[in-house]
Chain A
Amino acid sequence: MTYSKWGSTMIDVSREKLVEMYRKMLEIRYFEEKVFELYGQNLVPGTIHLYAGQEAVAVGVCSALRKEDYITSTHRGHGHCIAKGADLKRVMAEILGRKTGYCKGKGGSMHIADFSIGMLGATAVVGAGLPIATGAALSVKLQKTSQVVACFFGDGASNQGTFHESLNMAAIWKLPILFVCENNLYAMGTSQSRVMLIENIADRAAAYGMVGTTIDGNDVLAVYQTAREAVERARKGEGPTLIECKTYRHKGHSRMDPAKYRPKEEVEEWLKKDPIKRFQDRLFEMNVLTEDEKGEIERAVIAEVEEAVKFALESPYPSPEEALEDVYA
């Protein structure tokens, strides 16, 4: 069965797909809650940037992609990996610095990659992913495959030169890429309004002759619908799209940031717009999901996350000499 034309968006999507999207969002949420908890127990080295609150963006976009399509990610990247289909066990192991992690413990939370599912990796240099994603799109075009690329980045990153240079290049070469700006209104403690005079980052697309659109990034179906259209256009050779998703991170920027720079009312307002809660309500409304099914999914997801934690905790650390491997091919 497929559903069409509901809410504000026009959409054809099977029940299975809707439930799968819901499940992915929950996976990310529970995973991040677990990472936060482990961090509190001193089991996570370094720092963490949690994705909780932004699930609709990664899941909406990745649900419009095929396995062989590419994505690039950022310091706030756990959600992107999971949405693209990464194995929770190996993501968790990497975050905990274990040998069984995706990058053998060399990358950590800010640098997860899984090339087997087209996840081209997370860079922690803000804005550095944009030209790399653009290059992947160029490669796709040169190799005449029908893949597309989705490049995730933040509002803060859109002030880097790489943003402007990459968008322009992608536009003139009509590359098959989605530039997905996750505008969570802040870059660390810096609110968007203090570092740009425009309200919608997608307006910048016009400067490069590119299609740009600003959407509700906490509405997974809106994100999915928009991404699907952009993917279609990209596959047809019609070039890139800048999609700005307005969203909000639930926690502070990184591990110990209490995020005092965000007004309380603003936080409360956004918490009410929790993308998972909203999607869930909609699924209930549409009779796609029952309370029982919801409970079942939750239990399954919790079990999966717990299994990932167990796997990671039981995994060994890499041995010191492994630091010398992988420097050169």
Chain B
Amino acid sequence: MRRISYRDALREALREEMLRDERVFLLGEDIGRYWGGAFKVTKGLAEEFGEERVRDTPISESAIIGVAIGAAITGMRPVAEIMFGDLTALAMDQIANQAAKLRYMFGGQISVPLVIRTPFGGGVNIAAHHSQSLEAWFMHVPGLHVAAPSTPYDAKGLLKTAIRSENPVVFCEHKLLYPVEGEVPEEDYMIPFGTATIRREGTDITIVATLYMVHKALNAAKTLEKEEGINVEVVDPRTLVPLDKKTIIESVKKTGRVVVVSEDCKTAGVTAEISAIIAEEAIDYLDAPIKRVAAMDTPIPFSPPLENFVIPDENRIIRAVKEIV
């Protein structure tokens, strides 16, 4: 099958959805012809669809999301880009108090078909304001869906689902994933939210990992197989809300051991939620305590040795696995 990058897969999804549905439009800072998006996801789309549908905005995150909500509840299907995930903080009222709650507050009269695309994650040494992983903030707000694709295939399929969804979706991307290549069908396909996938089958232990950590977990699994003979199963939830508990629980029941890996901070984070669900629903099947590998509870520091220490790597995953196998 054709191989393209995660970045190109996202662009393909945007483009196909814009061709399919005139109501779909994009807005964000520098997404248009002069820059094509900070990570070049929207490159070429302004040229193809015009500046009405691929709108460069002022640097006004709160209004970007607010405007997108206003358009979404009156018949449009906006896809907003927030240039860095950290900057969703500027729009948090519009995301958490408005987009997430309007439908419920107004007794189900409307839906808010809005997608907020934004890149999270570290690894490129751009420090505390441009490197965080904040997926859990959005998981904590009822009314929002949270997607977290780790491959080009999922990026395209999940983004299409997000755009056609009636719910506000925070679509979490990862900076280091943009150049990653993988197989992506040229035709239209959608991946339903709430369906995890098993990236690698195994029998000794389950690793649940998200976004870029999926790739680190797969590397760790390879090393563990080769050097320790430990057979690891890697589960990628793909969407965090809704979360495919069933696939995770079934895998844990099969292996009896689990390490949960995510790049966000440990406290009250993605790993906390997934671990709690496993403890609630499958504790009797566990042969060892649940282990978590997450970023340290610090802001992301600038200097490479510091950043590398804070963000989980293969070695930390391997150590966690070896502690319980």
Contacts and interface: CB of A to CB of B under 8 A. Distances in A.
Interface of A: 45-47, 97-98, 103, 105-111, 123-127, 156-157, 159-161, 187-191, 194-196, 261, 317-324, 327
Interface size band for B: 35 or more
Contacts of A190: 29-30, 34-35, 56, 58
B300 to A, nearest CB: 9
A46 B62 contact: no
A261 B124 CA distance: 25
B29 A46 contact: no
B303 to A, nearest CB: 3
B95 to A, nearest CB: 15
Interface of B: 29-30, 34-35, 38, 56-63, 86-87, 89-90, 124-130, 296-299, 301-310
A106 B301 contact: yes
Q: Which among A46, A98, A123, A261 has the greatest number of chain B C-beta atoms within 10 A?
A: A46
B86 to A, nearest CB: 7
B306 A110 contact: no
A122 B222 CA distance: 43
Nearest to A122: B129
Contacts of B128: 106-107, 111
A70 to B, nearest CB: 20
Given A97-B302, A317-B303, A323-B310, A108 B127 contact: yes
Nearest to B61: A160
A188 B30 contact: yes
A156 B59 CA distance: 6
B56 A195 contact: yes
Contacts of B60: 159-161
B306 A111 contact: no
A123 B129 CA distance: 8
A123 to B, nearest CB: 7
| Interface residues of B, dominant DSSP | loop
Nearest to B36: A189
Given A45-B125, A124-B127, A327 B299 contact: yes
A184 to B, nearest CB: 14
A214 B124 CA distance: 38
Given A47-B126, A323-B307, 14 more contacts: A105-B301, A106-B128, A111-B129, A111-B302, A124-B127, A159-B58, A161-B60, A161-B63, A190-B35, A318-B306, A320-B306, A323-B298, A323-B310, A324-B296
Nearest to B304: A45
A224 B86 CA distance: 36
Nearest to B124: A46
A125 B63 CA distance: 16
A112 to B, nearest CB: 10
B34 A261 contact: yes
A318 B303 contact: yes
B304 A317 contact: yes
Nearest to B127: A108
A125 B129 contact: yes
Contacts of A109: 302
A189 B34 contact: yes
Given A97-B125, A189-B30, A124 B59 contact: no
A287 B130 CA distance: 48
The 10 closest A-B pairs by CB, nearest first: A108-B302, A105-B303, A97-B303, A189-B34, A320-B309, A46-B125, A159-B58, A45-B125, A189-B35, A195-B58
27 contacts: A45-B303, A46-B125, A46-B127, A47-B125, A97-B125, A97-B304, A105-B303, A106-B127, A106-B301, A109-B302, A123-B129, A125-B129, A156-B58, A156-B59, A157-B59, A187-B30, A188-B38, A189-B30, A190-B34, A190-B56, A196-B58, A317-B303, A317-B305, A318-B303, A320-B305, A323-B310, A327-B299
Contacts of B35: 188-190, 261
B102 to A, nearest CB: 20
B29 A111 contact: no
A188 B29 contact: yes
Contacts of A160: 59-61, 90
Contacts of A196: 58
A127 B297 CA distance: 26
B309 to A, nearest CB: 4
A103 B297 CA distance: 19
Contacts of B299: 106, 327
Contacts of A127: 59
Q: Which among B58, B61, B297 has the greatest number of chain A C-beta atoms within 10 A?
A: B58
Given A161-B60, A188-B35, A190-B34, A46 B301 contact: no
Nearest to A45: B125
Contacts of B56: 190, 194-195
A73 to B, nearest CB: 13
Nearest to A320: B309
B267 to A, nearest CB: 11
A78 to B, nearest CB: 14
Contacts of A107: 127-128, 302
A110 B129 contact: yes
Contacts of A322: 306
Contacts of B34: 189-191, 261
